[in-house]
């Protein structure tokens, strides 16, 4: 079982729709969760971090965390073509500095 699992996609959504990206993790001791956006040929960019169960909103982005189900999601409202990128879910375990990344989900927003 992979430590962090994501559907590789591509996930295609029309412009203006809500994109929903999902991630599961295997280590119950994980305490910190992150979403990074990576454009093709570029480095990852941190867009959201979440540490507690529930929702966290930042502009058009909402991160959702359910530790009991070991599940993290990212919602992107009013999706724009500029949101087309690979979204990486990352997890850090309590007491360890290592951040473990999933393989990423490729999102395509169709104009």
Partner 1 sequence: DAGVTQSPTHLIKTRGQQVTLRCSPKSGHDTVSWYQQALGQGPQFIFQYYEEEERQRGNFPDRFSGHQFPNYSSELNVNALWLGDSALYLCASSAGYSSYEQYFGPGTRLTVT
Contact 50, 63 (CB under 8 A): yes
Instruction: Tell me: does residue 39 bind partner 1 (CB under 8 A).
Output: no
Q: Give the separation between CA 111 and CA 109, rounded to whole angstroms.
A: 6
Instruction: Tell me: does residue 44 bind partner 1 (CB under 8 A).
Output: yes
Q: Which residues pair with 64 in a beta bridge?
A: 55, 73
Radius of gyration of the CA atoms of the chain, in A: 13
Among 14, 16, 18, 42, binds partner 1 (CB under 8 A): 42
Among 7, 20, 22, 49, binds partner 1 (CB under 8 A): 49
Report the interface residues with partner 1, using CB under 8 A: 4, 32, 34, 36, 42-46, 49, 88, 90, 92, 96-104
């Amino acid at each position: 079982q992979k430590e962090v699992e994501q559907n590789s996609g591509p996930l295609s959504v029309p412009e203006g729709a809500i994109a929903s990206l999902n991630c599961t993790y295997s280590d119950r001791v994980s305490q910190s969760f992150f979403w990074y956006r990576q454009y093709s040929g570029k480095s990852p960019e941190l867009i959201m971090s979440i540490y507690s169960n529930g929702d966290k909103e930042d502009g058009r982005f909402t991160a959702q965390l359910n530790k009991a189900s070991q599940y993290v999601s990212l919602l992107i409202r009013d999706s724009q073509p500029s949101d087309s990128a690979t979204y990486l879910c990352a997890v850090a375990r309590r007491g360890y500095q290592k951040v473990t990344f999933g393989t990423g989900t490729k999102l395509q927003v169709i104009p």
